[in-house]
Amino acid sequence: MKKWLKMLSMVSFALLVIVGGRVSMADAAGMGHGHTQWLDMKIIASLGLSSAEQTALTTAVSTYGSAVKTARHAVRAAMKQLKTDLKATPPVGATLVADATALATAKDQLKSARTDLDNALSTAITPAHLQALQSALTAQFQSRLNQKTDRLLFGYAMYLQKQ
């Protein structure tokens, strides 16, 4: 069950990135910004989703995606405030307790928002499509990792030649 939830969480994040990236690309169209996409739409197209499934995915992400994004920003802001207050000389205990409480609350809200998104996505996509998406994402990640590793090794080899 944990493996299924982990896969579903990964898929929900990937779909959030897809839809969010496409929306931001549409907003920035004509402005000359070269946005790159973390996840290629070819992967989604290769799943062979029906129009009803595509609509369900879009609805789920548009409904719950903004809540996840807002909660993620709240967690980052709470962490930043906690780090700032920890660096204060001397740190004030009551302020740190309030910051830690705010961070815990923000994390709980993020967990709840992600759970809502995961549940909506699990009803929108079949387990077979989920597994196909996971294998496609894994292959894409491995390919990009291999490219970066090759570039690093080439740079290191060039460095060694100069020595």
143: its two tokens: 């390919």
Residues of the chain with pLDDT under 50: 23-39
pLDDT score for 103: 94
**Alpha carbon distance, N-terminus to C-terminus of the chain:** 53
How much is the pLDDT for 147? 93
Domains and CATH numbers, the chain: 2-130 (1.20.120)
What is the per-residue pLDDT across 55-79, written as a single tens digit (0 to 9) for each? Answer: 887 788 788 888 999 999 999 999 9
Cis peptide before 91 (omega within 30 of 0): no
